[in-house]
């Protein structure tokens, strides 16, 4: 499902297996648990890389599980349940006291894309994998926190419109050009290598984790408010 | 005023407004709102709307002759405020329209007239003629906070600054770079046909109109929030 590994100062969170890494309540709970562990073990110079094995980063919420409820009403209820369970995962990432990187080596779709987008830096494959919000195609509206996430993470209104209102499948090179991801590389190994390199470089800055998190929250005020994240004023000045 | 025609799945709204500049007064705005209601009533999955205009102007703003044709400055202000209220209602009608919308801008759009193309999901414009001109600054008018929120939903950064703070008459090519316009074409026929083709392509996605409108409203969350139009969560998903 998902594992956490510590490599020096790096925390590496991996969605394991060759499947679509669908976010059902179990996986969502595991993710939250591991991210909480990361938060607890954070020190100066820590960094997080979130990655996945196989062809998929994640294909989003488990719609099969939702449908297994047996009725339309039941399915909608289960969808709502997953959206509600997922919110704290995003909140934890937003307030994580260290730089975060999503190493996207496969398709990041719907909640999968959302998870990736909740990181400070996105690195993606150029030759394989898409970013896609299919909600418009499957007639699902977006929870308020996901709307706020897209609004504040993706500054370009035109890009937002194409992703959310047009259901555009965005490949790595376009994502890099449009500023949706930081960089795109050919090949899985290159993406993983670049992510580790970036994480190490960011870790070397030895930023004060809590202050880093507060500054990050300040970049996304609307999202922070919706996620119920309060602001603290810090003065640990190294003057 | 305006006319509405149905051609297959396409609703074609033609703006004629008052006089050759297609100016807006409460009567004109009312008739456009009516036309949109009629389109909404007849909409199905696979509907789309394209708004077109003919001649040198797309829409040059409020009918200031009507605004000023009163006895006092106070009454003129009242007429202006009333026009603005009607415009806001029209914007709401566009934003809640349950189908994709395209504006084919054949000529100049200025002042309040700029809002009309920007209410659409996609804008195609003439390359060889026509400018968008937000002239509030030049006129010594403060842009109402609600409309600042509207513009912020369409663009950001240097493009937003250039749109509202610089008194610029901006041509199609520049607007393309700013992400405000999606494509430019030569000639009135060129842009009108392109607008219809784009609307057609969008219609073919057969999106659920109600969900489409709700996702669209999410892109205008600040604007909708100020007007108290909450987003509905919809779940009749095609799982």
Containing A12, the helix (H) or strand (E) segment is: strand A10-15
CA pair distance A171, A49, nearest whole angstrom: 21
Strand partners, B169: B133
Q: What pLDDT does A120 receive?
A: 96
pLDDT in tens, A91-125: 999 999 999 999 999 999 999 999 999 999 999 99
Is A160 touching B (CB cutoff 8 A)? Answer: yes
3-state DSSP assignment of residue A49: strand
pLDDT in tens, A134-148: 999 998 999 999 999
CB A96 within 8 A of CB A212: no
Q: What pLDDT does A155 receive?
A: 87
Is A71 touching B (CB cutoff 8 A)? Answer: no
Give the pTM.
Answer: 0.85
pLDDT in tens, A53-67: 999 999 999 999 999
Q: What pLDDT does B230 receive?
A: 72
Q: Residue A108 belongs to what domain range?
A: 2-227
Classify residue A181: in a domain, yes or no: yes
Q: What pLDDT does B71 receive?
A: 84
What's the whole-number average pLDDT of chain B? Answer: 93
Q: Which parts of chain B have pLDDT scores under 50? A: none
Nearest to B156 among A137, A155, A165 (CB): A155
The distance of B146 to chain A (nearest Cα, Å) reads 17
SS percent in chain A: helix, strand, coil, step 5: 45, 20, 35
Instruction: Give me the number of domains chain A comprises.
Output: 1
3-state DSSP assignment of residue B43: coil
The distance of A38 to chain B (nearest Cα, Å) reads 32
CA pair distance A22, A24, nearest whole angstrom: 6
Q: What is the CATH number of the domain that holds A126?
A: 3.90.226.10
CA pair distance B183, A74, nearest whole angstrom: 43
Closest to A39 (Cα-Cα) out of A11, A14, A1: A11
Q: What pLDDT does B138 receive?
A: 84
The architecture (CATH level 2) of B2-227 comes to Alpha-Beta Complex (3.90)
Classify residue A233: in a domain, yes or no: no
Per-residue confidence of chain A (239 residues) as pLDDT tens digits? 999 999 999 999 999 999 999 999 999 999 999 999 999 999 999 999 999 999 999 999 999 999 999 998 999 999 999 999 999 999 999 999 999 999 999 999 999 999 999 999 999 999 999 999 999 999 899 999 999 999 999 989 999 999 999 999 999 999 999 999 999 999 999 999 999 999 999 999 999 899 899 999 989 999 999 999 987 766 656 55
Classify residue A239: in a domain, yes or no: no
Is A151 touching B (CB cutoff 8 A)? Answer: yes
Classify residue A234: in a domain, yes or no: no
CB A112 within 8 A of CB A132: no
Q: Which residues of B touch A141 (CB under 8 A)?
A: 211, 214-215, 218, 231-235
């Amino acid at each position: 499902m998902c594992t956490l590994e510590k490599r020096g100062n790096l925390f590496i969170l991996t969605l394991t297996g060759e499947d679509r890494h669908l976010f059902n309540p179990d996986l969502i709970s595991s993710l939250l648990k591991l991210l909480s562990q990361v938060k607890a073990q954070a020190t100066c110079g820590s960094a997080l890389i979130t990655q996945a094995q196989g062809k998929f980063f994640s294909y989003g919420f488990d719609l099969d599980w939702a449908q297994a409820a047996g009725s339309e009403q039941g399915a909608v209820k289960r969808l709502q349940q997953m959206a509600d369970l997922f919110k704290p995962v995003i909140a934890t990432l937003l307030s994580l006291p260290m730089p975060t990187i999503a190493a996207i080596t496969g398709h990041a779709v719907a909640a999968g894309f959302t998870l990736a987008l909740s990181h400070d830096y996105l690195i993606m494959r150029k030759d394989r994998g898409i970013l896609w919000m299919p909600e418009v195609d499957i007639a699902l509206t977006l929870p308020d926190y996901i709307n706020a996430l897209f609004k504040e993470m993706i500054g370009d209104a035109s890009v937002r419109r194409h992703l959310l209102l047009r259901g555009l499948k965005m490949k790595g090179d376009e994502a890099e050009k449009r500023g949706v991801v930081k960089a795109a590389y050919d090949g899985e190994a290159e993406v993983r290598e670049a992510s580790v390199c970036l994480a190490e470089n960011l870790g070397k800055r030895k930023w004060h984790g809590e202050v880093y998190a507060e500054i990050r929250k300040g970049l996304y005020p609307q999202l922070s408010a919706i996620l119920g994240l309060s602001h603290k004023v810090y003065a640990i000045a190294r003057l | 005023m305006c006319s509405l025609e149905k051609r297959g799945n396409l609703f074609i709204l033609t703006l004629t407004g008052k006089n050759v500049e297609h100016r807006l007064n409460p009567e004109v705005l009312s008739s456009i709102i009516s036309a949109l209601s009629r389109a909404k009533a007849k909409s199905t999955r696979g509907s789309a709307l394209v708004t077109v205009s003919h001649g040198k102007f797309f829409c040059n703003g409020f009918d200031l002759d009507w605004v000023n044709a009163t006895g006092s400055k106070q009454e003129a202000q009242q007429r202006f405020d009333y026009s603005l209220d009607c415009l806001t209602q029209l914007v709401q009608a566009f934003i809640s329209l349950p189908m994709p919308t395209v504006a084919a801008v054949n000529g100049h759009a200025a002042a309040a007239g700029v809002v009309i193309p920007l209410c659409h999901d996609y804008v195609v414009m003439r390359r060889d003629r026509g400018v968008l001109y937000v002239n509030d600054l030049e006129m010594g008018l403060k842009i109402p906070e609600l409309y600042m929120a509207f513009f912020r939903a369409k663009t950001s950064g240097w493009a937003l600054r250039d749109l509202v703070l610089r008194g610029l008459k901006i041509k199609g090519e520049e607007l393309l770079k700013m992400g405000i316009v999606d494509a430019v074409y030569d000639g009135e026929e060129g842009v009108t046909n392109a607008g219809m083709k784009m609307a057609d392509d969008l219609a073919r996605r057969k999106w659920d109109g109600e969900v489409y409108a709700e996702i669209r409203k999410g892109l205008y969350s600040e604007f909708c929030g100020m007007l108290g139009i909450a987003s509905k969560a919809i779940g009749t998903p095609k799982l």
